[in-house]
Amino acid sequence: MLKFFVNKLFRYLPVVLLLNSVIPPVRSSSALAAWELKTNGVLELRTKSNANLNAYFQKANQIYGDRFWVDFHGELKNPRKIKGNGAIKEIRLGKPNKGKTRLVIEFKKETYLTPLKWRMVGLDQNRWRIKLFTPKSSFKKIGEGLVEKRVGNIKQNQNSIYRNKSVNNFSQLPNVRQNRFSVVIDPGHGGPDPGAIGIGGIRETDVVLEVSKIVKQLLTEKGVKVKLTRKNEIDLDLPPRVSFANNIDADIFVSIHANASRGKRRDINGLETFYFRGWRGRLLAKRIQRQILRVSPGSPDRGVKQGRFYVIKNTRMPAVLVEIGFLTGRLDARRLEKTTHRKRLAYAIAKGILEYLSKVG
């Protein structure tokens, strides 16, 4: 699933809202209080104050069309479906898990969407807005509950939930004890081994080396001692990478890679993080996975998994291997070829590492 992070600031009877019409509120313990999909393709939400939201996008498959959904805390009492109109096939309001509410908007397959440009914007503490599509034909509003209009200058108070600016704001990274920790960052492959080759000839070795160097810069700014297993395009086998980390007795080892699917299927995208053993390795993997998903809206969460990769199996310290996306995937490749997205990923990896170090240090 393609994850689009939303958090405090990164669903059903069909109703056409008429002038002066009064719509009964959504009666449930969910944080979602009201919602409306407007005629201009803008989704507006009203929630309880300071609610946490998580939004996602998933490309069409053989069963479903393109889908956008938002998860809310609190359990919905009455799941329901709403028939769409125009570009919208159906809207569903359900309970994906105990204690959760999910608003799903499914599009018809011929609808053209640009999820990479989507931004969820907080208008105030309990109102949210996102432009999902531009109707090419008449589209009737669909909604439930009342989404009150804000009085005053909305633009002055807008706060984008997907905050690209935070990528370069070092002050938002967690603080750890200065010169206390030693970290080894391992850019996968290198030299004659380019790793995965993706769409347009994008090479894994180039992507992960750039990301790794930025991670080092960010961690160094926070007083962490960082070493890279390689700093340029050299041929480096796996045992020397492990020996390097073990010899300097690093506190953690993070190997950074990019994925490729068999048959170079463009519909396969996503992020995943592997660890070999121990609760510390798992904790480090979970912290990094959570952060990289936050800066990769829409990228499927392939999870935190145990793996037997040589570099994480043979290091003596907590070690993880991070797959930052599929170079063969239509969505991931388009992002990974951009330096701006590589910076976001580096920021996320650094933040996950710092969160781990502050927890165990």
Query: pLDDT confidence of 164, banded at 50, 70, 90?
Result: very low
24 with 154, same domain?
yes
- Whether residue 138 has pLDDT greater than 80: yes
186 with 293, same domain?
yes
Tokens in use for 274? 């592997």
Greatest alpha-carbon span in the chain: 73
- Please count the structural domains in the chain: 2
Q: Which domain holds residue 309?
A: 166-360
Alpha-carbon distances, residue 24 vs 17, 105, 145, 289 (angstroms): 12, 21, 6, 40
Give the domain-ending residue among 117, 146, 162.
162
Q: Tens digit of pLDDT for each residue in 214-262?
A: 999 999 999 999 999 999 999 999 999 999 999 999 999 999 999 999 9
243 with 100, same domain?
no
175 with 125, same domain?
no
pTM over 0.95: no
143 with 199, same domain?
no
Tokens in use for 340? 């701006």
81 with 189, same domain?
no
199 with 121, same domain?
no
The answer to whether the CB of 111 falls within 8 A of the CB of 67 is no
The answer to whether the CB of 291 falls within 8 A of the CB of 5 is no
Give the domain-ending residue among 162, 194, 218.
162
Q: How far is CA 237 from the centre of its chain?
A: 31
- Whether residue 22 has pLDDT greater than 50: no
254 with 284, same domain?
yes
Give the domain-ending residue among 162, 181, 210.
162
- Whether residue 84 has pLDDT greater than 80: yes
